Structures are given as C-alpha cells and as structure tokens.
A and B are shown apart, each in its own frame.
Chain A
Amino acid sequence: MDASTSHPPSPGFGETGETHGPHHHEAGHDHEHHELGFWRKYIFSTDHKVIGIQYGICGMIFLFMGFSLMMIMRWQLAYPGQALPLIGKWLPYIFGANSMPDGKMTPEFYNSLGAMHGTIMIFLGVVPVAFAAFGNFVVPLQIGAPDMTFPKVNAASFWAFAVGGAIMLTSFFVPGGAAKGGWTSYTPLSDIADKGPGFHTVLNGQSLWLIGFIFLITSSLLGAVNFITTIIQLRAKGLTWMRLPFFVWSQFVTAFLLLLAFPPLEAAIIMQLMDRTAATSFFLPAGMIVNGAPLHVSGGGSPLLWQHLFWFLGHPEVYVLILPAFGIVGEILANNSRKPLWGYKSLVFSVLVIGFLSFVVWAHHMWLTGMGSTVSAFFQTTTLLISIPSVIILSAFFISLWGGSIRFNVPMLFVTAFLPMFGIGGLTGIPLAFNSADLYLHDTYYVIAHFHYIVAPGTIFGLFAGVYYWFPKATGRMMSEFWGKVHFWPSLICMNVIFLPMFLQGMLGMHRRWYDGGQGWTLAGEHIWGLSGFQWNTPISWAAWIMGLAQIPFIINFFWSIKHGKKVNDNPWEATTLEWTAPSPPPHGNFVTTPVAYRGPYEYSLPGREKDFTMQNEPVDPSERSRRMAEPALAH
C-alpha cells in the first residue's frame, strides 16, 4: 500500500525530518504552555484530548436530550390524546403554547419531536461521540502521535459543531417549532412546511434545521480531513499500516465516508435553502396544490432529486454510525479475551470494502419511488454484496471469543451484548434489501426496530463500552464496576423490550411517524401474544421510561469517578496498544518518550512469555524472532 509497510522498524527512519517530541526546542515551547490560562486550556483548547472530551460530553448530553424527546413521544404513543401527568403542564412553558396544550400533545409537536429525535441522535449524538470524541481522544494516542496534524482546524471543527447544535436547539423556540419533516426532510413537504404568512423566512424550524446542518457538515469535514492526514502522517516509527489497531482503521474509513458523502447532502441542503428563501424550485414540480390553492412557483424541480442526494449521504452515514463502534468492540474484545483479534486482515479489508460499497447502495431506501426494475435490480445486488463484509466482521468477532479466557468486566459486558444485538439488527435488514419484501415493510415499525437494533443496543452499547474502557486513560481513575453492572443489565433488558415487539407491530402494518401510534389499527384485530399491535405500545413505552432511569447510575458513576474513582496505573486493562504507554491522563504532547512500534496491535498470550500481553513498543528479542519465523501466521 505504501512504502512504510515494508519499512523495517529500525531507528534511522525519519531521522531527516523532525522527530516526535524533539528536544532541541523544548525549552522555548515549555514556557508557552505554562502561559495557557483556564480558557485556552479547557474551553478553547487545541489539544486533541481536550477537544475529544468536549465532543464527548456535548455529544452525550445531546444523546440524552434526543432520548428525552423520545420519552415524551412514547407517552403519546402509549396513551394517545391523554394529558401527560406531572411534567405535561410544564412543557408548554418550554416549547410554546402549541406544543402540549393542557398536557396533550398536538400532532405538529409530535412531528417536531420525531424529526428532532432522529436528527439529534444521529448528527449531534452518535457522530460526535463515536467519531469525533473517541477518534480525537484515542487515535493520536494509538498511533503514537503528539496531537492531530492540524490542531487549530480541530478546534474549529468542534466550534462549528457547537454552533450547529445551538442552531438546531434554537429551532424549538421559533414560531411553529422545530422541523417536522423527519430526519430525512423529504421534499416537497419540508420545502413548503413552516413557510408563508406567520413565518419568518429564515427563523423557522425547517430553515434553521438546514442552516444548522451546514455547520455540522463543515464540522465533520474539518474533522475528517484532520483524521485522515493524522493517520497517514503521524504514525509512530515502525507502526506500519498492518500494525494499526483495528479502531484506527475503522476511524480512517469513517473519515473517508464523512469526507465524501456529506458534501452532496450539503449541495442538497443549499438547494432546499434556496427553495425556501430565494423562491427557487429545485424540488418542487409545477402545478402543486397546497391547502387547496395552487402554489406559485416556477416548477421544473424534482422531489426525487432530494431523495437521491439525501440517501447518497444517508447510507454511508449508517456506516459512520456503526464502524467506530466496530472499532471499539474490536479493541475491547481482544483485550478481554486475551487473544489476538481473529482475522485481523480480513477485518481490515472488510472495513475497506464496506467503505467503497457504501457509496453505491443508497437507492435501496427508495424502492417505493418506482425507479424501475433495472435500477432496483442494481441496487438490490450491491446491497446484498455489502452485507458480506459485515457478516465477515461479525463472524470474526464471534470467533475471537472462541477459546479465550474471557474477563467479563463492564466494557466487555457491553461488547458481548453488542454482538448478538447487532446481529439481530443486521439480519433483519436483509428482507429490506429485497425490493419485493420491502414494498410491504417500508416505513413500518419493522424498519424502526431494524435500524434501532443497530444504533441503540448496537452503536450506543459500543459507545458505553468505549467510555468505560478509556475512562482510566482520560482520568487516571476507574469507573465503578458495580454501578456499571447496575447500568448494563436493565439497559440490555429494556432495549429488547422496546425494540423486539416493534418488529411485530411493523409486520402487523403499523406505520412509523404515526401521531396516535396506530390507534385505529386495533380494529384490524390481529393479536400477537395476546396484544394487538397498538396495545404493544404500552409495555414498550414503560420499558423506554425505565431505561431512562437506568441511565442515572451511569451519569452519577461517570461524574463521581472523575474525582473519586479508584486510582489505577497507566495500563489497568493490561492492553497492548500504544495509548496505554502514555501517562494517564496524558500530558499536552502525550508521550514521555516518543513511542516506536515493533509488533502488531494484539499480541496477547504470546507463547514463552510470562505476561499474557506484549505491548506494541516492546522490542522483538532474537529468540522470539526465530520462533516467529517458524510461525508465519503471527509475523508482520
């Protein structure tokens, strides 16, 4: 792939350029660092670790907000039209008089909540935590770099995200409330929503959604450029491509997805914004009738164009949501089964193949638009192809467990739950890939269940695992094991009580985005396990609220442990990758001595060693070398 692959990990390499942490400049720069005040150090920092933590905290707050919106919606789904007790009468003070008059939810408010739940969860929650927070904090440490290649750009990325998030939140408080067109913002509906008399051209939910998005896309773009350059340029001596931890690979591919898939959506967003503010009609056909009156626009636009551009991002985006979680799972799995990750090379190539293929499957979200059978056949084929590498990854993970002496600590519990949960999510996606089956399942709760199995007990569990795993690196302290388990078990159970019945509801025909939760569907009379599709809403909602409570131990554990957690050494999990050679928490510039890598990322339980883990920076001694010659599988 690159000259470095064949480069021997011997000193001499890189001697001509600057080396990491050069000593000749040390004095001059030291005094610069000491001058940093509180604001530069913790708020407007350019240190990748601080930025990572900023992203992480903001992202987790957004995740909780997005989840709270859903907890409110779940009331309306379980008990349609009834007043929400306790908090119901307070919500109008926050969201405006038209949100929940007398504690009863209006349809418009339901739509806003749904659209913003999706938007916040994906773009303000998971992407910032999975990609930006973990990527920023962990990647430079894992590759032995002092920081990102462009620290200022990195800070700019965070602030663009913060502005975008603020704009999205503000949109709840403008007349008409936040965007209502779903996270997909399909045209022509969202083109004409909240427009006209009584609405400001710019300060309305949908327009602010679009403007907020431009900031979020800018943020991802700056982040992606930085990540890729950092991984290419700042790998430690001897850290060749095939010695990179799997997590770094997953972030590398994720960065490419963000880099190349977001801009077409940005193009579409600019066009929708033009439609809404400059009276163009990119997405509006001629002759539309709105509220009984013809719409005065030039026409000549195409609603389908939006769908194509949206899903050109939308599909790669789902891999943006899952690949970082794969990376985290891989690290923790190898660490806690005390075995090398099984099939490292297959994993890397699978991730790369997923990266390429994810750009040619987007129209599988559009079977219902009547694209014609040729186009459908093409996208159906590519969609089935892309499932192959995903299956390889999941299988390799399962095989990695085989014969390991597994330690079930909290990160590992989340990871072991991730595997079957992701499996359910992935396998239930296959019927959606066949356009004939999807014609029936499209836009039902079956789809909601399918993708939530991937993003909620899948990605979110991966993220929790990562938080518990790297917390000691960021703080030098452990999170409580006991409260971690109190967090894990109820979350796992609730997740399944929430999402498993949704498959059945969907197959009974319950449509997503229904304000009354399919109340009318009770009349259809079909029952599953004694309950009609609609009646299942009640247990689901209760499980969602209990799951909300189950996050309290996590929140307390997290903040409490920062100050009071058990103090641990620099490598409490006895892991092998380079981040564990840095002090905890790592200082500005990260490493005390610049690390050099001599071996692959997962050398657990090497034969003939007293420790069951061998860190990447431990030199290969001659006896090991000769042993390795005999065992080519381990070499490289």
Chain B
Amino acid sequence: MEIPYTISTRPDTGLWNAKIGIWLFLASEVMLFGGLFSAYVFLRLDAQPGEWPHGLLNVPIGTFNTAILIVSSVTVVLAWAALKMRRYNAYWWYMLATILCGIIFLFVKLYLEWPPKFSHYGVFIKPEAREKYEPYLGNHRREEKGLEPRIEITGHLENHEALTDSNIKEYEIALDPVNADPDNPSHDRPHFIPLPATEKVAKIDKQDVERIDSFGPWHSAYFASYFTITGLHGAHVLAGVLVFLYMWLPVSKKVYQRNPEHLANRVEVSGLFWHFVDLIWIFVFPLFYLL
C-alpha cells in the first residue's frame, strides 16, 4: 500500500500532503506563541508604574542574533533552490551554513545572553523606604519630569552570604550606573548597551527591602515572559537544527538519489518551519529588547 500524493501534487488541490500538514502545524504554532504574546500584553498592561523593567537586555547581541536568523532563512531557501536545480553539492554547503547559523544563535543565547542575568541583582525597596534611598533612585526629578518611578536598585551583589545569613543586616550592591548617578538625564531612556556595574557600593538595610532577586524568571513578569518565550523559541531553533542535520547527513543523500523531489519537498517543509521560527524572533526582538 502506498499513500497517494506524498511527493506529487493532487490535481484538484494542487498540493502534496506534507505541504498542507506543515501549514496546519504552523497555524497551531501561531496560536501557541499567540497565547504567550497575549499573556505578555495582558501582564504588561496590568503592570503598576515602575514594575516593568526597561533596558536590561543587550541590544547589540540581540541584533546580531536577529541577523543570524535572517541569514539562515536565506541560506535555507538557497539550499532548497539548489536541490530543485539538482545541484547536490551546493545544497550541502547551504544546508551546512543554515545549521551553523542555528548553532551560533543557540550559543549566543545560552552562553552570552542568559548566564550573566543570574548574577545581576535587583533590590526592590519598600514604598515607605524609597525616600531614604532617594540618592540612588532619583525619583524626585523623575516625578517632576513625569517619568515612571524607580522601585528597585540594581547591580552586582557584593555579599552573597547576605541572602542566606540572617545575621547580616545589609545587602552591599555595586551599583549599576542608573542607580549610581540617578539624576543624570542620560539615564532617562534605556541604554543601548547595558553598562557594567560601577565601583560605587550602596548598603541597603534588609528592613527596607521588599525582596531581592537576580534577573532570573523569578525577578518580574517581564523576565518570566522573557525566559519562557525565548526558551520556547530556543527549543524550536534546536528542533529545526536537528531536522536540518538529518537532511544534511548522508542518510538523506540516499533519499535524493532515489527521488530528488522527495528531499526537495522535505527541505521545503522544514524550511517553512524555519521561516516561522525566524518570524517569531522578529516579534520577540522588539517586544523584549526595544520596547
């Protein structure tokens, strides 16, 4: 028994099976990420003034990763076109390029972007104590200018023991430039590149602290959405890389030799998936890095 229309098209629909299949699958993926993005919008609209952080991500790195994904979307099309022209060698190189782009993207994400977040801390100051930390928060000036208040002091935590040892009464924070020099107008807008923490250390009395958290998913609704969405997106990139790897390895050459159109169709379908993954990133990037 053979299933009809796996490779050739059905005359009245003009499509082969997997092409319909992948579009349906992508429709469901749209709903999946749609659900997550609506949650983002919902939570962001619900956030109290000052609760939604800005400028904590590294825009150049994000831009680099955006570019990498766009390039890979081009190379995968070229790979497909090469197959259509029955040039297997060219296909092999373009596919390799695509796979490498995917790997670079994941490397940047997992080694350069995520880890530093976990050693950077935000100290949320109780509302009644914010006046006391005015030199780090600069809220008087912000109120005059009609800007959202600052409710946390961020930077590098110098005494990690303070997190667990209740005998230590203060957190020592090497301040980020925003809190080191809060009235400087250059800090009114988020920085393009996050500046490293300064030498200036602030001592913050634990009694004035609502909570202290690193920039992990537990930090805020913002970082929760950031890690969930970029994590799920990363999982999709990984899946794409694995599929491409399979199509690049010698096993797939056998498929090509039996029926080149079959491999071309497979590349087309997985390429559509790859474009979708790219498209999701095109939403992730502005939502988290820029807005």
Contact = CB atoms under 8 A, between A and B. Distances in A.
Given A21-B1, A259-B24, A260-B28, A7 B218 contact: no
B2 A25 contact: yes
Contacts of B10: 14, 17, 233
A22 B11 contact: no
A232 B12 CA distance: 10
Given A21-B1, A233-B4, A263-B29, A298 B221 contact: yes
Nearest to A227: B24
A602 to B, nearest CB: 23
B32 A302 contact: no
A18 B39 contact: no
A503 to B, nearest CB: 35
A20 B5 CA distance: 10
Interface in B2-20: 2-6, 8-18, 20
Given A17-B11, A281-B221, A588 B21 contact: no
Most B CB within 10 A of own CB, among A229, A262, A281: A229
Given A229-B17, A229-B24, A281-B221, A267 B4 contact: no
A17 B5 contact: yes
B17 A301 contact: no
A493 B265 CA distance: 56
Nearest to B24: A225
A233 B15 contact: yes
Given A4-B12, A260-B27, A146 B3 contact: yes
A305 B5 contact: no
Interface stretch (B42-50, B132-140, B252-260): B42-50
Contacts of A149: 3, 5-6, 17, 21
Interface in A1-39: 2-4, 7, 13-14, 16-22, 25, 29, 33
Contacts of A18: 2, 4-5, 8
Most B CB within 10 A of own CB, among A279, A282, A297, A588: A282
Contact of B218 (A19, A221, A268, A279): A279
Given A17-B9, A229-B24, A302-B46, A267 B3 contact: no
A150 B42 CA distance: 38
A77 interface: no
A262 B43 contact: no
A589 interface: yes
Interface in A79-107: none
Contacts of B25: 221, 225
A296 interface: yes
A274 B217 contact: yes
Interface string B53-70: 000000000000000000
A233 B13 CA distance: 7
Given A17-B4, A229-B20, A296-B211, A264 B218 contact: no
Nearest to B225: A282
B11 A14 contact: yes
Nearest to A3: B12
A278 interface: yes
Nearest to A222: B25
A267 B32 contact: yes
B142 interface: no
A271 interface: yes
A224 B221 contact: no
A341 B164 CA distance: 73
B24 A233 contact: no
Interface residues of B, number: 51
Nearest to A153: B21
Nearest to A260: B31
A153 B51 CA distance: 45
A221 to B, nearest CB: 6
A331 interface: no
A271 B219 contact: no
A486 interface: no
B156 to A, nearest CB: 20
A19 B3 CA distance: 9
Interface string A233-251: 1100000000000000000
A333 interface: no
Interface string B92-118: 000000000000000000000000000
A603 interface: no
Interface in B193-238: 211, 213, 216-221, 224-225, 227-228, 232
A280 interface: yes
Nearest to A146: B1
Contact of B21 (A17, A229, A267): A229
Interface in A297-313: 297-298, 300-302, 305, 308-309, 312
Contact of B221 (A228, A279, A301, A588): A301
B286 interface: no
A589 B43 CA distance: 52
Contacts of A167: none
A225 B2 CA distance: 19
Contacts of A579: none
Nearest to A4: B12
Nearest to A266: B32
B290 interface: no
Most B CB within 10 A of own CB, among A14, A263, A296: A263
B277 to A, nearest CB: 15
B36 interface: yes
Interface in A170-211: none
A264 B217 CA distance: 20
A18 B7 CA distance: 9
Contacts of B1: 21, 29, 33, 146-147, 588-589
B229 to A, nearest CB: 9
Contacts of A259: 24, 27-28, 31
Given A147-B1, A270-B232, A278-B227, A16 B11 contact: yes
A252 to B, nearest CB: 12
Nearest to A255: B24
Given A232-B20, A282-B221, A7 B12 contact: yes
A270 B21 contact: no
A278 B218 contact: yes
27 contacts: A3-B14, A146-B1, A146-B2, A148-B3, A149-B5, A221-B28, A225-B24, A229-B21, A232-B13, A233-B5, A260-B27, A261-B31, A264-B31, A266-B35, A267-B32, A270-B232, A271-B224, A274-B227, A282-B39, A297-B218, A298-B220, A298-B224, A300-B47, A301-B43, A301-B221, A302-B43, A309-B38
Interface of B: 1-6, 8-18, 20-21, 24-25, 27-29, 31-36, 38-39, 42-43, 46-48, 51, 211, 213, 216-221, 224-225, 227-228, 232
Which 6 A-B pairs have CB atoms at the shortest separation, nearest pair first?
A: A267-B35, A264-B35, A589-B1, A280-B224, A263-B32, A300-B221
Interface of A: 2-4, 7, 13-14, 16-22, 25, 29, 33, 146-151, 153, 221, 224-226, 228-229, 232-234, 259-268, 270-271, 274, 278-282, 296-298, 300-302, 305, 308-309, 312, 588-589
Given A229-B24, A260-B31, A282-B224, 19 more contacts: A4-B13, A16-B8, A20-B4, A21-B1, A22-B2, A146-B1, A146-B3, A149-B5, A232-B20, A260-B28, A264-B35, A268-B39, A270-B232, A274-B224, A278-B218, A280-B221, A300-B220, A302-B42, A302-B43
